């Protein structure tokens, strides 16, 4: 792939940890301790997400749902059906490390993730086992190789999940979809499934509790979730987009599909 065909991609979010607020009702007494205990019990099961065994997709969904339950997160899916197509690129706004488990509970696949994730204790080992495609967000020179890898996975019939904003936002603000990653779908001639992902308190108000922005730490993010009574992850499955021949036009279509808030609160099915 011609590196000049990718275009500049320097994602920057205006969100900082000051955007993040704990909120919602506190859990009942003893729930926090129970969740902490469950975190310790569930952690050894996470390698099953990468296990090359029969029924792997169903197992991945189950593991993701279990992780979400531990953190008091309930997923509600709206919109169209989740299509079980081979070689599909799934794109979504990016709020938190939790996004991986929310999307994994609905449409498991290989994720394009920040390269430094590989060095995180525990999570890095899991990331390597899951064959996550690492991306260095500040290195434009290496971006074409990442796009080529995504295209190869799509041609091989794999589902690949990417966050084309290129960085996390708090959930109240949102970034643009950069077109670079959409080149993979164009090159592989594979469809794109846009998802609208947002987090809410039990009363429907937008929640920044799961947000993972700026200099926030994974531990602080996990603590906020564990000490919040309930978080609702709302996923709207938008219309499937054909790749076409222009990545910028495809990115614009997917951003429009993922960004519209019309009828988002109408619940059609519960994922977990």
pLDDT digits (tens, 9 = 90+) for 97-133: 889 889 989 988 889 987 776 666 656 666 666 678 8
Token representation of residue 50? 């990468």
Domain assignment of residue 95, yes or no:
yes
Location of structure tokens 């219309």? 239
Query: Among the ranges 48-62, 162-176, 196-210, which has the highest mean pLDDT value?
Result: 196-210
pLDDT surpassing 60 at residue 263: no
Q: pLDDT by residue (tens digit) across 132-164?
A: 888 877 777 888 999 999 999 999 999 999 999
Token representation of residue 62? 């189950």
Domain assignment of residue 33, yes or no:
yes
Cα(218)–Cα(223) distance, rounded to whole angstroms? 9
Q: Residue 172: which domain range?
A: 20-270
Cα(181)–Cα(251) distance, rounded to whole angstroms? 9
Stronger pLDDT, 45 or 88, i.e. the higher one: 88
pLDDT surpassing 50 at residue 270: no
Model confidence pTM above 0.75: yes
Domains: count for the chain:
1
pLDDT surpassing 80 at residue 205: yes
Domain assignment of residue 244, yes or no:
yes
Domain assignment of residue 6, yes or no:
no
Stronger pLDDT, 209 or 91, i.e. the higher one: 91
Domain assignment of residue 2, yes or no:
no
Domain assignment of residue 9, yes or no:
no
pLDDT at 264: 41
pLDDT at 211: 86
Domain assignment of residue 189, yes or no:
yes
Contact 193, 91 (CB under 8 A): yes
Report, as an integer, the average pLDDT of 54-69. 77
């Amino acid at each position: 792939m011609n590196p000049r065909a990718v275009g500049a991609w320097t994602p920057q979010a205006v969100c900082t940890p000051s955007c993040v607020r704990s909120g919602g009702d506190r859990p009942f007494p003893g729930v926090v301790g129970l969740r902490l205990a469950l975190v310790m019990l569930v952690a050894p099961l996470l390698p099953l997400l990468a296990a090359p065994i029969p029924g792997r997709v169903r197992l991945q969904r189950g593991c993701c749902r279990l992780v979400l339950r531990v953190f008091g997160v309930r997923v509600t899916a709206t919109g169209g059906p989740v299509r079980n197509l081979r070689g599909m690129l799934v794109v979504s706004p990016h709020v938190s490390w939790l996004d991986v488990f929310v999307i994994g509970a609905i449409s498991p696949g290989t994720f394009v993730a920040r390269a430094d994730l590989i060095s995180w204790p525990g999570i890095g080992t899991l990331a390597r086992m899951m064959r996550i495609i690492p991306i260095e967000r500040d290195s434009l020179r290496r971006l074409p190789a990442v796009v080529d890898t995504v295209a190869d996975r799509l041609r091989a019939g794999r589902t690949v999940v990417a966050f084309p904003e290129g960085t996390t936002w708090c959930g109240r603000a949102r970034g643009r979809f950069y077109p670079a990653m959409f080149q993979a779908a164009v090159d592989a001639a594979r469809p794109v499934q846009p998802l609208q992902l947002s987090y809410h308190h039990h009363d429907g108000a937008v929640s920044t509790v799961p947000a993972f922005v700026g200099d926030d730490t994974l531990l602080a993010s996990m603590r906020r979730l564990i000490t919040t009574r309930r978080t609702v992850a709302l996923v709207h499955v938008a219309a499937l987009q054909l790749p076409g021949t222009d990545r910028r036009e495809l990115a614009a279509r997917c951003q429009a599909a993922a960004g519209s808030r019309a009828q988002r609160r109408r619940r059609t099915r519960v994922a977990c």
